[in-house]
Amino acid sequence: MKTIPSVPIPIPIPIPIPILDLRPAQFFDQSHIIGSASFPVSELFERLHELPIRTQAVELFGSVSELEIATQFLSSKGYHISQTQVANQQKLLELQQSNNLAFGKSYQRLWQPAKIVKRFVDDYSLHCDNKTGLDLACGSGRDAVYMSMQGFSMTAVDYLPSALEKLSDLAIRCEQSVKTIQLDLEKFHQEKQLSSLSLLEEYYGCLVVVRYLHRPSLLQLKSLIDIGGYIVYQTFMRGCEKFGSPKNPRYLLESGELALAFSDFDILVDQVEYLADGRPTNCFIAKRMK
Ligand SMILES: C[S@@+](CC[C@H](N)C(=O)[O-])C[C@H]1O[C@@H](n2cnc3c(N)ncnc32)[C@H](O)[C@@H]1O
């Protein structure tokens, strides 16, 4: 009788559930659960952009009142709270005895950059000689800070001071330094006969644009990219309007629009990527050749 060789069944590696420590930062710095992230309850609202994606379950650690406030707030934002632990002396002692306590400041990154930015860093950044980057319409800065963490000297532009403040706070927490410029990218400066983009007069090794489209200046973006430099773009496409915002065609890329605009570049990635809610985005990376 022939014996059929048994095929080993792969055992899935469990992904640890992020633990948010809601206590004031000085308590966290004294001691905290290994791997947990400091999110004092008073900062939760301002630091929503630093939380993991909403489909991810989270655990909470804090006083009874901190747990109550955070559970209510995070549930209203769509998070699933899988466990809450009351932080008291007894609990901290137990954690210490089981070697689950860490001491001192630490930053646990729970957020992710845009997928296309991660792909650029993983697959192309090694070939990028000019390690300067510009993040246009940067928002609260996850992509600019992530690029900075990967060794790029980053400049980030947005017209909202509040977004730039959040970016700077995030950069400090991640021990990075990102130059910020407050600028309306869609403004034409009559007196100088210049668009805002012309004011950024520099050649960057990588130009990042995520979830933003200003069609009239699309072609002008090229003049900000160094020869051998890259454009890294991800934004919504026509078809989004069926699932949510944006609905205005002004903010929705047509299929093949980026490829056409950058047809004189070497196109390395040009894919449609669907977000979890079904909205289509165009993920695009191209290299300036001349
Ligand atoms: C959907 S958010 C995307 C932010 C970031 N790129 C990201 O993916 O997390 C769009 C950003 O564009 C910025 N923005 C919109 N119009 C702008 C303009 N005319 N000039 C500069 N920034 C602008 C907004 O302030 C906002 O931060």
242 Cα–ligand 1 center, Å? 22
Q: Please check whether the domain covering 19-102 is classified as CATH 3.40.250.10.
A: yes
What's the pLDDT at 191? 67
Q: What percentage of the chain reaches a pLDDT higher than 90?
A: 86
Contact 230, 155 (CB under 8 A): no
Region(s) of the chain under CATH 3.40.50.150:
115-287
Q: Could you tell me if the CB of 211 is within 6 A of ligand 1?
A: yes
139 Cα–ligand 1 center, Å? 5
284 Cα–ligand 1 center, Å? 18
Q: Could you tell me if the CB of 212 is within 6 A of ligand 1?
A: yes
Q: Could you tell me if the CB of 286 is within 6 A of ligand 1?
A: no
57-75 residue pLDDT tens:
999 999 999 999 999 999 9
CATH homologous superfamily of 115-287 equals: Vaccinia Virus protein VP39 (3.40.50.150)
What's the pLDDT at 198? 77
At residue 1 the predicted structure's pLDDT band, cuts being 50, 70 and 90, is low
Distance CA 62, CA 88 (A): 8
Residue of 142, 158, 217 to mutate, ligand 1, most atoms within 8 A of C-beta: 158
Q: Could you tell me if the CB of 163 is within 6 A of ligand 1?
A: yes
Q: What is the pTM of this model?
A: 0.90
171-218 residue pLDDT tens:
999 999 999 999 999 987 666 667 777 777 789 999 999 999 999 999
Intra-chain end-to-end CA distance of the chain, in Å: 67
86: left (phi over 0), alpha (psi -120 to 50) or beta: beta
Comparing 36-40, 49-53, 159-163, 177-181, which segment has the lowest mean pLDDT?
49-53
Q: Could you tell me if the CB of 139 is within 6 A of ligand 1?
A: yes
Whether residue 27 has pLDDT greater than 80:
yes
What's the pLDDT at 32? 96
**Listed residue (63, 56, 65) closest to 18, CA to CA:** 56
Q: Could you tell me if the CB of 199 is within 6 A of ligand 1?
A: no
CA Rg value for the chain:
22
Residue of 159, 168, 234, 248 to mutate, ligand 1, most atoms within 8 A of C-beta: 159
Instruction: Report which of residues 37 and 196 the model is more confident about.
Output: 37
Q: Could you tell me if the CB of 161 is within 6 A of ligand 1?
A: no
Distance CA 273, CA 234 (A): 9
254-282 residue pLDDT tens:
999 999 999 999 999 999 999 988 999 99
Please give the mean pLDDT across all residues of the chain.
93
Distance CA 281, CA 120 (A): 16
Q: Could you tell me if the CB of 160 is within 6 A of ligand 1?
A: yes
SS3 18: coil
Distance CA 137, CA 87 (A): 40
Percentages of the chain per state (helix, strand, coil), in multiples of 5: 30, 25, 40
214-242 residue pLDDT tens:
999 999 999 999 999 999 999 999 999 99
Secondary structure E strands in 191-262? 194-195, 204-210, 225-236
| CB burial of residue 245 (10 Å; 0-12, 13-18, 19+) | exposed
Mean pLDDT, range 134-160, rounded to an integer = 97
Region(s) of the chain under CATH 3.40.250.10:
19-102
Mean pLDDT, range 120-139, rounded to an integer = 96
